Structure 1
Amino acid sequence: MLYPTPVLTDADQAVLAGIEEMRQNLRHQIQGSPAKWTLGLRKYLTADAVARSNSIEGFRVSTVDVQDLMDGERDVDVSEENREETLAYQRMMTYVQTLHDVADFEYSKGLLNALHWVLQGHRHSARRPAGQWRPGAVYVTDPDDPRLAAYTAPAADEVAGLIGELVAWLNTDDGSHPLVRAAMSHLHLVSIHPWADGNGRMSRSLQTLMIARECVLAPEFSSIEAWLGRRQNTWAYYAELKRRGSTFVPDQDVSSWIRFNLTAYHEQAQAVQGRVDRSAAVWSMLLEFAAETGLDERTVSALHDVAVIGRIRRHRYEQAEGLTLQQAQRDLRDLTAAGLLEPVGRTRARYYTEGPHFPERVLEVARTPMTLTAPYEVG
């Protein structure tokens, strides 16, 4: 038995309508924007989702470091464990994103276990197998005392049957809104806790996969993993899961879980819209600056990353503009000589931040914080 999908209230419907309006507007804006900065933004949002979702599990790597690892940089100051976890999650997320338009796609036990292997294969052992249902009991322990069980998952011999129910539900349209179904899939999977480890990230990834399959907007613009990874939201996430009880009791009202997720969707859409607006404004301002100062237009992508992300590495700039090693090095050297960039570190670990002559008005636009509106408090 799975949790019944609750009927949305008028307030829920109003919030959902607001989310849909923002997502449609964002879709049109992205489609009409320059490919270079939208591609960079998509990579950044993917890195942010990976970084913050992993942080919930205690693997802390900054978004910019995750982006460097995704770019293939080796000289990134992170532990080997954090590197492994970051790259494994990134590989799984990349695969999830590619499934958005597969024509004969269907959910299956095999798909879920395969995704789990991508995520946890590097940790596979007889006691904690990857890509296989757990052989024994599993507990979510209290963060302050690991000897206390905050949640005890269903018995191991119930897992296959429960996952069978979940897969059947995933492959059947029950008439609920896709974003509501995605939220429910997260709750179903995390409550069953079918693997010895990695259940939280798998559940969040399943939600992202369902959003991707909706085909309204690229999943990196709609995923709530980055929102969940913010410290205050993470604690609210734990508290909401705790409301379900200390054991699996599916015959209950989970309306508060839906409200929690609708809030997450709404606030994440606001945050992404704000980043898109800032990125677009910065790109336009830098194009004008390049024209005024005689800079090659291709250098705008490097200056844009510095303004909106905080730094640029030679390899990323080289890839973004399709340059040779020598061309990229020369451009960055010239930008440094002009005082627009400042090198940090040596040789392969070097990256560049803003220099003393970087246009202040661009940095002001790029780094002015925005305020999120709580959707259920509007009106």
Structure 2
Amino acid sequence: MLPRTPSLSAHDRRVLDEIDELRRKLRHQVRQTPAKWTDGLRRTLTAQAIAGSNTIEGYKVDSVDVEDLIDGEQEVAVSEDNKAETLAYQHAMTYIQSLHDAPDFTYTKSLLNSLHWMLQGHHHPAKLAGQWRRRGVWINEPGDPQSVAYVAPDAEALPDLMAELVDWLGGGDLDAHVLVRAAMAHLILVKIHPWSDGNGRMSRSLQTLVIARGGVLAPEFSSIEAWLGKPGNTWEYYKVLKRVGGPEWSPERDTAPWIRFNLLAYHQQSQSVIHRIDRSNRAWIDLAEYAERKGFDERQVTALHDVALAGRVRRARYQRAENLSNQQAVRDIRALTEAGLLEAVGNTKARYYVPGPDFPADVLEQVRRPLRLVDPYED
């Protein structure tokens, strides 16, 4: 027996309708936005999801550093452990993103174990990867290693429970909204806890995969991990998992609070992404107009835009984005630096650029303006 998908309250259904409307708006925005902008946005959202997951698991790599690692930068100021975790998760996320439209796709135990190997294989054999755990396991209270928060099912029960989950993924509750099914997939997997380590990441990855297979939005827009990685939200995440899951495997418990928590996450993450697209588009238009007035080439707007949105840019990233030679990229960055629009930080190999003293202040003010997220469950 697995935890059951709850019936939605009238308020839940209203929130879900709002989420659908936000996602339709987001899909329209993406379709109307030039590919050059959306490519960067997809990379940024993937990096934010990975950074959020890192935060939940206790690894500290900010989203800008994650982007640099994704881009293949070698001189990023993070530890080797943090780098290994980030790149492993990025590989798994890339594979998940590629599965969103895969023909003849099926959920299998082998697929889940393979994804787990992508995430945790660099720890093998110290921590078994790509195979069910072979002994019992418990989860400690966050921040209190002496207290047990949850005892997972016995190892002997895992083959049957995972077979039941795979069957459900393929054909269970198909009349439920895809976002609800994805949230339930996350809850079921994290409570079965079938691996010795990496269960949280795998459960969140499965949630993203189920949403992506729903086909409403590109997979990069489907993850709520950036939202979950915010400190206050991470704490609430642990609280609701404890409340719904109970102290041990108890699939008969009410799962409605978990669904409400996820609907809040979907709603606020959609708000954040729409806001990011709006400010990204506005910043690009303003910087393009500025560059034209000052006599800079249109391609240099890419570097200025990255600096405005991310806070910094590397020469190599700009070179790849605009398909330039090394010499041309160096000349472009030097020109922007000499004009006071960029300012170099660091030595040659690790150097990156931040807004210079003459960077348009109105653009920076606009992109840094915070968003007040709406809680759809508040009257």
Q: TM-score range by the shorter chain?
A: over 0.9
| Secondary structure of 2:150 counterpart | strand
User: 2:81 is matched with which residue?
Assistant: 81
User: 1:195 is matched with which residue?
Assistant: 195
- Whole-Å separation in 2 of the counterparts to 1:137 and 1:267: 36
Matching residue's letter, 1:218: A
- Whole-Å separation in 1 of the counterparts to 2:312 and 2:101: 33
User: 2:208 is matched with which residue?
Assistant: 208
- Whole-Å separation in 1 of the counterparts to 2:267 and 2:310: 23
How far the C-alpha of 1:218 sits from its partner, in A, is 1.2
How far the C-alpha of 1:35 sits from its partner, in A, is 1.1
Matching residue's letter, 1:181: R
User: 1:66 is matched with which residue?
Assistant: 66
How far the C-alpha of 1:138 sits from its partner, in A, is 1.1
The alpha-carbon distance between structure 1 residues 173 and 242, as it changes in their structure 2 partners (threshold 3 A), is closer
How far the C-alpha of 1:148 sits from its partner, in A, is 1.9
Larger mean Cα displacement after TM superposition, 144-153 or 302-311 = 144-153
Pairing 1:218–2:241 present: no
| Secondary structure of 2:187 counterpart | helix
Q: Which runs of 5+ in 1 are unaligned?
A: none
- Whole-Å separation in 2 of the counterparts to 1:121 and 1:325: 36
- Whole-Å separation in 1 of the counterparts to 2:135 and 2:206: 23
User: 2:264 is matched with which residue?
Assistant: 263
Q: Deviations over 1:212-245 (max 9, x none)?
A: 1111111221210110000000000000011021
User: 1:279 is matched with which residue?
Assistant: 280
- Whole-Å separation in 2 of the counterparts to 1:135 and 1:173: 28
Q: Give TM-score, length-normalised by structure 2.
A: 0.98
Do the aligned partners of 1:128 and 1:134 also contact (CA within 8 Å) in 2? no
User: 1:128 is matched with which residue?
Assistant: 127
User: 2:166 is matched with which residue?
Assistant: 167
| Secondary structure of 1:377 counterpart | coil
How far the C-alpha of 1:144 sits from its partner, in A, is 3.2
Q: Deviations over 1:239-281 (max 9, x none)?
A: 0011021101001211000000000000000011111100010
User: 1:177 is matched with which residue?
Assistant: 177
User: 2:252 is matched with which residue?
Assistant: 251
How far the C-alpha of 1:128 sits from its partner, in A, is 2.5
Matching residue's letter, 2:293: E
Q: Which runs of 5+ in 2 are unaligned?
A: none
- Whole-Å separation in 1 of the counterparts to 2:148 and 2:372: 37
- Whole-Å separation in 1 of the counterparts to 2:297 and 2:144: 58
How far the C-alpha of 1:145 sits from its partner, in A, is 2.6
User: 2:343 is matched with which residue?
Assistant: 342
Give percent identity, aligned residues only.
60
How far the C-alpha of 1:348 sits from its partner, in A, is 1.4
Runs of 4+ off more than 4 Å: none
Matching residue's letter, 1:225: E
- Whole-Å separation in 2 of the counterparts to 1:144 and 1:294: 55
How far the C-alpha of 1:37 sits from its partner, in A, is 1.4
- Whole-Å separation in 1 of the counterparts to 2:235 and 2:171: 32
- Whole-Å separation in 2 of the counterparts to 1:202 and 1:87: 15
Q: Deviations over 1:144-190 (max 9, x none)?
A: 33132111100000011100000000000521000000000000000
Matching residue's letter, 2:337: T
Pairing 1:155–2:154 present: yes
| Secondary structure of 2:349 counterpart | helix
| Secondary structure of 1:281 counterpart | helix
Matching residue's letter, 1:229: G
Pairing 1:143–2:142 present: yes
- Whole-Å separation in 2 of the counterparts to 1:98 and 1:329: 34
Q: Deviations over 1:282-317 (max 9, x none)?
A: 011111111111110000110001001100001110
Q: Deviations over 1:41-94 (max 9, x none)?
A: 110110010011111111110110011001000000111000000000000001
User: 1:47 is matched with which residue?
Assistant: 47
User: 1:329 is matched with which residue?
Assistant: 330
Larger mean Cα displacement after TM superposition, 80-89 or 27-36 = 27-36
Pairing 1:110–2:110 present: yes
Q: Deviations over 1:305-344 (max 9, x none)?
A: 1001100001110111011111111100000001000000
Do the aligned partners of 1:224 and 1:265 also contact (CA within 8 Å) in 2? yes
User: 1:6 is matched with which residue?
Assistant: 6
Matching residue's letter, 2:257: S
Do the aligned partners of 1:287 and 1:297 also contact (CA within 8 Å) in 2? yes
Q: Deviations over 1:182-207 (max 9, x none)?
A: 00000000000000000000000000
Do the aligned partners of 1:45 and 1:220 also contact (CA within 8 Å) in 2? yes
User: 1:238 is matched with which residue?
Assistant: 238
